[in-house]
């Protein structure tokens, strides 16, 4: 269960940015979580709720965009989406996905503040 | 109400510390290997076999992560190698900060050529945390099932080597080696796979050579 430590990192970064920009109340944090990461969005929301409770972040929304895994075929270079529930191969030539174009994100995009 | 752009990696702090660790280790000429796997796949046994083959040629220091106990450290200490146990408490992985705190102890051990870090037995969480190592290695064993790479892709994606351990037990399981290799390579076509056994020593020499060669050419 490393989602708690990830939420702690998110809150730390958001607090730094709130101080930096001198903003008021936090309404929403937008993050991206790639499907190739070992991070569970539902657990992040749960942990965020607990960490925010009783603080000035209580009631803020953790808005999580799950990013699908797009790989590039090692043979024909075609980009294709990998299905997380099966052994996905290139639909054109059956090759493996080499470079991941997306799906490994674990990023804070922005915050919405009053 | 307005949006403030942040655009940063969530684990930015961990990654910064990992980069500092990498720099400090490099300055001391230490090659660091991070071993990751599920519990019971044989990480500690692989470390013991690696020590037995290498300790006359290479100065080894070991750091072992576990939630509780120093049982693994005790096993390794019997080989006359400096070993430090990190108890993570409730945390399911090692992070760069924990390694940063261990560096002064490592540097006190005199000259080290090879640092082996045994991560907490867990196939999910350690994958996300860069420690500052030179080489990430996943261990899976034939008693765990050939579908592990598909279930825990992040770990296999980030590793350069995969050790498929306990191959001496292969005939007692329904583990399909060809399928396991295909599954692992589908996630990471660059992965170098070595079949190992700590009982009959299959693949151990090849694994040790791989560390030496990778360390020399880094």
B217 pLDDT above the threshold of 80? no
The total number of structural domains that make up chain B? 1
- In tens, the pLDDT along A57-93 reads 999 999 999 999 999 998 999 999 987 766 678 989 9
- Residue B147 forms part of a structural domain: yes
**Which residue in the set B6, B93, B123 is minimally distant from A108, CB to CB?**
B6
Calculate mean pLDDT across residues B26-51.
96
> How far does A56 lie from chain B, in Å, by closest CA?
16
Strand order of the sheet with strand A70-73?
A79-81, A70-73, A97-102
Q: Which of chain B's residues have a Cβ under 8 Å away from the Cβ of A13?
A: 6, 8, 10, 12
- Residue B7 forms part of a structural domain: no
Residues B86 and B64: beta-carbon distance below 8 Å:
yes
Q: Do A96 and B189 touch (CB under 8 A)?
A: yes
Q: What residues of chain A have any CB closer than 8 angstroms to a CB in chain B? A: 1-2, 5-6, 9-10, 12-14, 17, 21, 23, 27, 31, 36-39, 74, 84, 86-89, 96-98, 100, 104, 106-114
Q: What residues of chain B have any CB closer than 8 angstroms to a CB in chain A? A: 1-14, 91-93, 95, 123-125, 127-129, 150, 152-155, 157, 182-183, 185-187, 189-190
Name the pLDDT band for A27 (thresholds 50, 70, 90): very high
The helix/strand/coil state of A18 is helix
Average pLDDT, chain A: 92
- In tens, the pLDDT along B184-203 reads 998 899 999 999 999 999 99
- Written out in words, the top-level CATH class of the domain with range A3-113 is alpha beta
B90 pLDDT above the threshold of 90? no
Taking one residue from A and the other from B, the number of pairs with CB-CB distance under 8 angstroms is: 99
Cα–Cα distance, A23 to A1 (Å, whole number): 32
Residues A68 and A37: beta-carbon distance below 8 Å:
no
In this structure, is the dihedral angle defined by the CA atoms of residues B67, B70, B71 and B73, taken in order, positive or negative?
A: positive
B218 pLDDT above the threshold of 50? no
**Which residue in the set B2, B8, B150 is minimally distant from A87, CB to CB?**
B150
Cα–Cα distance, A13 to A11 (Å, whole number): 6
Q: Output the six-digit token pair for B141.
A: 């064993």
B3 pLDDT above the threshold of 80? yes
Closest chain A residue to B179, measured at CA? A87
Q: Do A17 and B183 touch (CB under 8 A)?
A: no
Look at residue A96 in the predicted model and tell me its pLDDT.
85
CA proximity to B36, closest of B152, B150, B166: B152
Average pLDDT, chain B: 94
Domain with B105 in it: 12-217
A98 pLDDT above the threshold of 90? no
List the CATH number of the domain containing B171: 3.40.50.300
- Residue B152 forms part of a structural domain: yes
Look at residue B87 in the predicted model and tell me its pLDDT.
85
> How far does B188 lie from chain A, in Å, by closest CA?
7
CA proximity to B114, closest of B14, B9, B7, B213: B213
Q: Which of chain A's residues have a Cβ under 8 Å away from the Cβ of B16?
A: none
B32 pLDDT above the threshold of 60? yes
Task: Note the ipTM here.
Answer: 0.89
> How far does B78 lie from chain A, in Å, by closest CA?
32
Q: Output the six-digit token pair for A110.
A: 């922005």
Contacts of B193 by beta carbon, 8 Å cutoff, 6+ apart: B161, B162, B163, B164, B181, B184, B185
Residues B170 and B200: beta-carbon distance below 8 Å:
no
CA proximity to B47, closest of B116, B115, B108, B109: B116
């Amino acid at each position: 269960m490393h989602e708690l430590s990830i939420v702690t990192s998110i809150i730390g970064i958001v607090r730094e940015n709130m101080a930096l920009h001198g903003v008021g109340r936090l309404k929403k944090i937008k993050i991206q979580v790639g499907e190739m990461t070992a991070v569970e969005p539902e657990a992040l929301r749960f942990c965020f709720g607990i960490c925010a409770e009783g603080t000035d972040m209580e009631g803020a929304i953790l808005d999580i965009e799950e990013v699908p895994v797009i790989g590039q075929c090692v043979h024909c270079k075609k980009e294709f989406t990998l299905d997380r529930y099966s052994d996905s191969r290139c639909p054109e030539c059956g090759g493996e996905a080499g470079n991941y174009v997306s799906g490994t994100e674990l990023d804070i995009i922005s915050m919405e503040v009053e | 109400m307005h949006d403030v752009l942040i655009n940063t990696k969530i684990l930015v702090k961990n990654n910064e510390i990992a980069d500092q660790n990498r720099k400090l280790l490099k300055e001391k000429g230490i090659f660091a290997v991070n071993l990751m796997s599920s519990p019971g796949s044989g990480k500690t046994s692989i470390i013991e076999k690696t020590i037995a083959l290498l300790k006359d040629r290479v100065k080894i220091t070991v750091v072992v992560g576990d939630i509780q106990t120093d049982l693994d450290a005790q096993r390794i200490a019997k080989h006359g190698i400096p070993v430090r146990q990190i108890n993570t408490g409730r945390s399911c992985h090692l992070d760069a900060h924990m390694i940063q705190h261990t560096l002064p102890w490592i540097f006190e051990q005199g000259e080290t050529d090879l640092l082996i870090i045994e991560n907490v037995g867990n196939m999910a969480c350690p994958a996300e945390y860069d420690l500052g190592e030179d080489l990430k290695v996943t261990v899976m064993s034939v008693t765990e099932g050939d579908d592990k790479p598909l279930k825990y892709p992040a770990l296999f994606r980030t590793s350069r080597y995969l050790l498929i351990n306990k191959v001496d037990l292969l005939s007692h399981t329904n583990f399909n080696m060809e399928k396991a290799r295909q599954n692992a390579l589908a996630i990471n076509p660059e992965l170098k796979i070595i079949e190992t056994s700590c009982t009959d020593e299959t693949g151990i020499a090849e694994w040790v050579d791989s560390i030496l060669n990778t360390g020399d050419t880094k």
